[in-house]
Amino acid sequence: MFGGAVLGALLSQGLHPRAVTRSESRAQVLARQGAVPVVADLACPESLGESLKGAEKAFLVSPMQPDLNLLEKNFIDHCKRAGVRHIVKLFGCVDHGDDPLVRLHLDAIDHLKKSGMEWTLVSPNTVMDSNFFPHASTIKEESCFYASAGQGRCGFVSCLDCAEVAAHVLTTDGHHGKDYQVTGPEAASLADAAQALSEVLGHTIEYVDLPEKEMLEILCSAGMTPEEAEMQVLCHYRLFKEGKATLVTDVVRELLGRPATSLKEFFERNRDAFESGS
């Protein structure tokens, strides 16, 4: 999600960035879009070959998986050998405490800071796209969505805002050593989100709060393992309830000169994804 969005933001500026993918078919799509595709696997950094030579800056994002830190350290090491000057890494600004996902990220960040290269972190709050698009089917079919976040609030941010911030950092100077915590314009609950979506669609959408055990069962029935459900979904809902996702900043306005996207604006932009019959 983030990689494609950042790539799109760079392509919209008329640039032709290199884009790493593991898929040959995806590489063909990237080439048609105007990128310079590199087929490689960060688990095998030698597969990158000479592809990073001549690059000055790189954007680093990895899927939420148990070897995230190893994949990212492989990429960091390869960038250093290739002469890359500056790495922009995706992190996050939700207060996860000392949970496993944070430990993976911090291990990679520590490695990056010790590499001698310039570095910047782009750290979003919980992203609207990954939080609400998975609920599209029940919103369309049942006019509701299910989660286990209670009335916890979150400074939900759009992926597009994060991508444009990252593209700005990649194409301008003066960002070394900074952690840009990117959020939406307000801290909202999932009930608030349901209300905003109701206003956009013109009928009532309900947020149904479930016990965490029931939410786990739903996620596993959809194909997730318990470990994936914990790392990708449940830990985030738990942090909402604990008040650890309420951060709101003005980073989008400061860097891009415009306000951050609100929940209602996000739903209006993506109305077709949630509207019954579309």
CATH of the domain at 145: 3.40.50.720
For the record, the structure tokens of 268 come out as: 């209006």
Quote the pTM value: 0.92
Task: Determine the average pLDDT of the residues in 56-64.
Answer: 91
* Measured distance CA(9)–CA(12) in Å, rounded: 5
Residue 184 belongs to domain spanning: 2-274
Q: Decide if 274 contacts 201 (C-beta within 8 A).
A: yes
For the record, the structure tokens of 40 come out as: 């490689």
Q: Decide if 42 contacts 51 (C-beta within 8 A).
A: no
Of the candidates 254, 76, 102, the one whose C-alpha atom is nearest the C-alpha of residue 165 is 254
- Side-chain-side CA neighbours of 161 within 13 Å: the count stands at 33
Number of separate domains in the chain: 1
What does the pLDDT look like over 61-73, one tens digit per residue?
988 788 899 999 9
What does the pLDDT look like over 110-165, one tens digit per residue?
999 999 999 999 999 999 999 999 999 999 999 999 999 999 999 999 999 999 99
* Measured distance CA(268)–CA(259) in Å, rounded: 16
* Measured distance CA(247)–CA(196) in Å, rounded: 20
The residue with greater pLDDT, 46 or 262, is 262
φ, ψ for residue 17, nearest 5 deg: -70, 155
Q: Is 244 helix (H, G, I), strand (E, B) or coil?
A: coil
* Measured distance CA(95)–CA(18) in Å, rounded: 32
Residue 59, number of CB atoms within 10 A of its CB: 23
